[in-house]
């Protein structure tokens, strides 16, 4: 995981072209890089409604805090601020969530899908599923609580602060 000081400020990108965009592949939505992205760069902020329990589309950001997409998904300016809801899981991700910010953990090519490991943020998934990332053989993704001690140790460097405690 990049050191906090190495994480680029989102202010650096506000006047530039968007870092990520929504795409469709095989009939499913995904988030892709718009430009080449370096490790430690900010990709997007996880915005939405703060809720105390997980739901199918929420992201856990604290011990009892989850961010869920609001009912009105499009902002008044017409831009979709909630692209994070289309981030897919990967057992070999290229990004992590640090508090409420998605950060690149390795170089990402323009057009490459942006992914993170749900097991490094979610204690217990509201809607478990079989992984389709292609790196793990299709294990069931249920959350950090259900990982073996060895699987937990393997993810320590990408683990969200609320799961370290």
- Counting the structural domains of the chain, the total is 1
Q: What is the pLDDT of residue 7?
A: 47
User: Quick check: is 164 in a domain?
Assistant: no
Convert the pLDDT of each residue in 110-146 to its tens digit: 999 999 999 999 999 999 999 998 888 789 999 999 9
For range 11-33, the mean pLDDT: 76
User: Quick check: is 102 in a domain?
Assistant: yes
Segments forming the whole domain that contains residue 9: 4-117
pTM: 0.84
Calculate the dihedral angle through the C-alpha atoms of 157, 163, 164, 165, rounding to the nearest 10 degrees: 170
H or E element in which residue 24 lies: strand 20-25
Convert the pLDDT of each residue in 70-87 to its tens digit: 876 655 555 566 889 899
- The CATH number of whichever domain residue 45 belongs to comes to 2.170.270.10
User: Quick check: is 25 in a domain?
Assistant: yes
């Amino acid at each position: 995981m990049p050191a906090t000081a190495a994480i680029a400020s989102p202010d650096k990108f506000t006047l530039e072209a968007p870092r990520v965009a929504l795409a469709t592949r095989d009939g499913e939505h995904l988030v892709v890089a718009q430009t080449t992205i370096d490790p430690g760069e900010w990709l997007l902020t996880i915005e939405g409604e703060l809720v105390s329990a997980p739901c199918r589309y929420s992201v856990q950001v604290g011990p009892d805090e989850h961010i869920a997409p609001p009912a009105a998904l499009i902002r008044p300016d017409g831009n979709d601020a909630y692209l994070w809801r289309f981030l897919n899981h990967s057992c070999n991700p290229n990004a992590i969530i640090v508090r409420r910010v998605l950060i690149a953990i390795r170089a990402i090519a323009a057009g490459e899908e942006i992914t993170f490991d749900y097991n490094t943020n979610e204690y217990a998934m509201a809607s478990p599923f079989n992984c389709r990332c292609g790196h793990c053989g299709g294990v069931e993704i249920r959350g950090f609580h259900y990982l073996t001690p060895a699987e937990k140790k393997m993810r320590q460097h990408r683990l969200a602060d609320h799961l370290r405690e």
